[in-house]
Amino acid sequence: MSETSIKEKSETKVKEMSGTKVKKMLFILSKGTIENAYAAFVMANGARMEGIESEIFFTFFGLEAIQKKKLEHLRVATVGNPALHMPTMLGGLPGVEALATKMMKKEMEKLDMPPIGEFLEILSDSGCKLWGCKLAIDMFHLKREDLIDELDGVLTIGDFYGRANEEGTHLLFI
């Protein structure tokens, strides 16, 4: 593809973006790896920055991202992650996961990506609603005080669907 056509293509995208029909983005974060947490956070924050409403529902391992004691210790998975181009045996060795996480955090810092705790503060201040999943919280025997202060509440999945009642709402499972 020639340089001009790439440029034209990206400009068309920009135009479409500004006239988006998306009104509200609802994210379900079910995984406890750092890259998944950041994926949800960047998209939820990006929505708010575009004037789109956003909310995140933390369930199962996604709850790691809102537990006061755990949120700064999320890691990148080095086993079963072919995109790291690392032999599975090597990925399982002690310290490899920590090292890969450290390297990733360093790259993120360069791009001015906030750490998880600060990102949650930013999201909350930006008006992004943060919800805990009742079933998963009960299953992991978590108490309210284990979870971040910014949490807006604990919901059942039914309650969460109830928040998707407007036209232009999208749900995304991560």
Q: How far is the CB of 59 from another protein (least distance, A)?
A: 24
Cβ distance 173 to 40 under 8 Å?
no
Q: Which is nearer to another protein, 37 or 154 (CB)?
A: 37
Q: How far is the CB of 90 from another protein (least distance, A)?
A: 31
Q: How far is the CB of 1 from another protein (least distance, A)?
A: 22
Q: How far is the CB of 33 from another protein (least distance, A)?
A: 19
Q: Which is nearer to another protein, 126 or 156 (CB)?
A: 126
Q: Which is nearer to another protein, 15 or 106 (CB)?
A: 15
Q: Which is nearer to another protein, 88 or 126 (CB)?
A: 126
* Residue 171 in tokens: 């749900």
* Spatial separation of the C-alpha atoms in residues 135 and 156, rounded to whole Å: 7
Residues that bind another protein (CB under 8 A): 14-15, 18, 42, 45-46, 48-51, 111-114, 118, 121-122, 125-127
Cβ distance 156 to 134 under 8 Å?
yes
